[in-house]
Structure 1
Amino acid sequence: MPFMVIVGSSPPYRFVGSMVHVMDIIAKQLNSCYEFVIPDDWMFGTRLPNGSWTGIMGQLARREVDMSGVTLSNDAARNAAIDFSEPLYMDTQVLSYKRPVLEADIAGFIKPYDTLMWIMLAATLLVVLVAIFGVHLIENSLPFKRNNNGEKQTPKLDTERKAPQQQKWESVWYSFQWTIGSTLAQSIPWVPRGNAIRVIAGLWLFSALIIASVYRSNLKAMLILPKLRLPFDSIEELVETDIPCIVPKGSMLYQAVLYAPPGSLLSRLKDQLVDTVDKDKAVRDVLLGFNAVFIGQSIIEFVAHQTFSQTRTCPLYIASQTFFGATSLSIGFKKGSPLKAKVDPIIRNLKEFGILDYLVRRETIYAKECLRQESLLGSAESLKPLKLKDFYGVFSLYASGTFLASVVFLVELILQRKRHTSNLP
């Protein structure tokens, strides 16, 4: 696909695709007729350890057929066994997988800031807490107190003085409450006293306002703008997952994976390798997300075109990073065949006049729109309304905080009741 599609499960088969038209043109120019011969294993062909070939490559190497009716990828091993025509097309080996869909991100409430930013915020919060507590502790250790206006006030009675240990813990508690509360835009019934504490508190209130405003703005934008997470975007990322990967059995790529040096990326892909010659099952498994596929881009474009024409959906994406460069696709001939010299000028003319590209592109007219990266990553026009599940993460955080506050409140009630009971005569 898309060069040759064989329709039917048993003879007589029906052949469709761009290569059927190319073979018709070649036969007409040579004033000849032709017959398609399908290899028993339905494969392009790989080299066996004894040096023989399977599939179409085996038919050509054994001189059972005159030429291939489909294009074959040209590499050094194949070129030593058969002759190749002028390249008809250039193709790239790509990774493809089921296109991700927009999903609610439960952990999205922590993503308005990156990890470094959260660490800096936590460190700043700790510094402010220590500063306020330290200054407050110094103020309380002086032989006077300050009234609500910040003026010095000497206690009238010794009973107004609290125990130093009690004052210390109250300072810690009020400092912690106020510092955290101001960060979360919560009102705390505590007025900082003294010029030093007021300066620190004022700076922290201003910083907390900026931090909270930016956080809310980023969170709102991240909830509204759709974000897609790709399972992988390169072969390096694929081998780190447990996603099975289809590589067509008998293809040049299958042979490259099979004989890859130990420790290489292709060798690591062996553990996830799924080889098959059943194209219908392979396509179905990829569309359902059971397997990824490592194959020629032209084949993925054809699958995307066919799927869109039938369902009006674009279920696949192509990883942006490729492993191999472009490979040439040519017609194969038995070694020393005189047909090569006759067919090459015909192919050259078809290519120069754009007929070859036209024959393929009309088989994949919807693929370009389906597989473009801009549609995958989303744009400003793809805003989505907020749904309830978009707030699951925020709701979970709020519920956890409410539960924790309720536990603290109950503990305080229990301790207060015990203290009151112990003070009774």
Structure 2
Amino acid sequence: MDSHCCWKLVKLNSRTQMIQLWQNGASVRDIARGTGYSITTVYRWINRWQREGSIYDKPRRGRPRVTSAEQDKQILRAIHAYPKQDPVGIVQSLNYRCSWKTIQRRLEEQGGAQFVNFRNLDHLMALKGRHLKVGADTWIPWVDVHERADGSLYASGVAAEFFDIIATKLNFSYTLMIPADREWGRGMPNGSFTGMIGMCQRKEVDVAIGPFGITYERSKVVDYSVPLSMDQFGIFLPRPRLEKDLAGISKPFAWQVWMVLAVAVLLCVIISLLINRILQQSKAPSVKYSIKPMWILVALFRGSTQIEPETDTERVFLATWMWAGLILSTAYCGVLTSLLAVPKVTVPVDPLQDLVSYKKIPWAIERGTFLHQVFSEATSGVYKKISDGGSLVTNGYDERNRVKTERIAVLCDVFTMKKIMNDDYSNTGICNYYIAEKPITSVALAFAFPKGSDLARHFDHWLGPVKESGLVGRSIAALTANATACLIKPGKEGMSVSLVISLQDLAGLFILSGAGQLSVQRH
């Protein structure tokens, strides 16, 4: 029995090498040292060659070989000619029915194993013929699930396309399954999860496309593939526009300037009234005029007065205010003109706190996402306010029209935001959306598997090179190319927009000017 075992362990190419070395005059000891086998084994094969003229295995009981010696040679020649093709497909094209393990043995017997990467072959054949259950739901542009006429489902999108590539590489078919609650996966107090993560946790599916944000809580119940991509999550808003504001007449000066001016006018009025009282008590009754408080308005509005100052005190008072009025009115008119000529659009919301404090834009959160769980678990602070004050939506892409027309904000991923901006700008040529500059968080996105699944290893074998090649990034860039025109700050899009000043824009100026002129005329 031991002798038979030893004979069986010596590969055909090693036997051939022993006989060739012996025929060339090498000693048995040198042959044993060179081939790595014992002297007894070398003697046994030399004696077999001398006795029978053959070193091939003898027929024995058990499963017969599925290929002949000539067919083995044909397999070696075909694989040598096409080293980058699937060896199983090559063998099947020769009408030989054998497994990839058989092909591996035949190549090793003939010394041709170097022509095939058996590590790739292991991944190629690991799932051959299997039919997988795959969890999926719509998340444009990553995945878009459609229904065929026969009721079966199929998916398109960036993640779905790469999933199909892996399905081809690993030789498996699949059926899509949508979670009943239409969620990605939130942890419950009892340790279970909703959505597709829950389907993986309960082993209802073999893999879920997602892609899913990798979080510690989810990693307790599922395994992840290598990340497809890194994405940011932020605030998606209607684009800020120029707003009509009667208070715009105050914008040329900061509030501190207006405060100082008001205090100065008030003080001067009080001082002038005191001086008038003093002068009236000291002058003769023939003295008719003194310091007039209305001279301040005359000076500020650059008007004229028919009451001339009689004393040096009055002249200094009026001259001082005329000089100050000249400076202030010139600066005011210049800044106001520039504001009207080059309007500045105010962005009311940027960090998350602004969304809460602004109170003019309602917001929504995508239901069942990791972001939904982060906000819902908050017990205080801005996250708690976001959770309490927001509504829930299925996904950000479906809410794109509401963002534009109803002017709501959606908290979602940046890739979705850019895809919406790309499609909208391609159709309208106008930037109608805005992405807040400060993201909420960043997260890696990946496929999900039931805990302990061997599929993750086979998926990673192909996903790793895909990621390193930059194919995912290029796909994202191709789908969002036109969004770059709208990623600049609002008001600086570079589009030729004609600024038309309306009566509402000028209403504040007319009111202020009219009040001033009325005061002067009364004086």
Question: Residues of 2 paired with 1:42 and 1:120: CA distance?
Answer: 60
Verify the 8 A CA contact 2:237 2:403 in the aligned structure 1: yes
SS of alignment partner, residue 329 of structure 1 = strand
Change (3 A) 1:295 1:312: same
Once the two structures are TM-superposed, the CA of residue 218 in structure 1 deviates from its matched residue by 0.8
What is the one-letter code of the residue matched to 2:142? Answer: F
Distance 2:396 2:255 in 1: 45
SS of aligned partner of 2:444: strand
Query: Which of the numbers 306, 319, 337 marks the counterpart of 2:453?
Result: 337
- 2:209 aligned with 1:69, yes or no? yes
Contact 1:93–1:322 at 8 Å: present in 2 too? yes
How does 1:3-14 map onto structure 2 within 5 Å?
3-7=142-146, 11-14=151-154
Q: Of 280, 286, 307, which aligns to 1:161?
A: 286
Structure 1: gaps spanning 5 or more residues: 145-159, 413-425
Distance 2:360 2:220 in 1: 37
1:243 aligned residue (353, 356, 361)? 361
8 Å CA contact 1:98, 1:287 repeated in 2: yes
For 1:292, the aligned partner's letter is A
Cα deviation digits, residues 149-201 of structure 1 (max 9, x gap): xxxxxxxxxxx636xxxx6xx64xx5111122111111111222223332333
Q: Which residue is 1:419 aligned to?
A: none
Q: How does 1:7-406 map to 2 (within 5 A)?
A: 7=146, 11-133=151-273, 141-142=281-282, 161=286, 171=290, 175-240=292-357, 241=359, 243-261=361-379, 263-277=380-394, 281-324=398-441, 326-370=442-486, 372-376=487-491, 384-398=499-513
Residues 233-288 of structure 1: per-residue CA shift (max 9 Å, x gap): 22212122153321111100111111112x22111112322112266653332222
* Higher RCO structure, 1 or 2 (CA under 8 Å, sep 6+): 1
Q: CA contact under 8 A between 1:226 and 1:382: conserved in structure 2? A: no
- Percent identity reads 26
Structure 1 residue 71: deviation in Å?
0.9
Structure 1 residues 85, 272: closer, same or farther in 2, change over 3 A? same
Q: 1:359 to 1:295 in 2, by over 3 A?
A: same
Q: Which moved more, 1:205-214 or 1:64-73?
A: 64-73
Cα 1:373–1:279 change in 2 (3 A) is: closer
Q: Which AA in structure 1 matches 2:265? A: L
| C-alpha distance in structure 1 between counterparts of 2:443 and 2:398, whole Å | 26
Change (3 A) 1:70 1:228: same
Cα displacement (A) at 1:290: 4.6
Aligned length: 382
Q: In 2, Cα distance between the equivalents of 1:193 and 1:399?
A: 29
Query: How far 1:8 moved relative to its partner?
Result: 5.4
The residue aligned with 1:423 is: none
User: Which residue does the alignment assign to 1:154?
Assistant: none
Q: Which runs of 5+ in 2 are unaligned?
A: 1-139
Deviations 1:32-71 (A, max 9, x none): 3333222222221212222211211011111122222231
Check whether the contact 1:96–1:318 (CA below 8 A) recurs between aligned residues. yes
Separation in 1, partners of 2:200, 2:264: 73
TM-aligned CA distance change 1:92 to 1:100, over 3 Å: same
1:221 partner amino acid: S
Q: TM-score, normalised to structure 1's length?
A: 0.81
Distance 1:93 1:111, change over 3 A: same
Of 77-86 and 312-321, the range deviating more from structure 2: 312-321
Q: Deviations over 1:192-225 (max 9, x none)?
A: 2223332333232212101110001111111222
CA distance in structure 2 between the partners assigned to 1:317 and 1:380 by the alignment: 16
User: 1:320 deviation in Å?
Assistant: 1.9
Give me the whole-angstrom Cα distance separating, in 2, the residues matched to 1:294 and 1:280: 11
Q: Bigger radius of gyration, 1 or 2?
A: 2
CA distance in 1, matches of 2:152, 2:474: 28
AA aligned opposite 1:75: T
CA 1:143–1:288: 2 relative to 1, 3 Å: closer
For residues 202 and 9 of structure 1, what CA distance do their matches in structure 2 show?
86
Structure 2 counterpart SS, 1:373 = coil
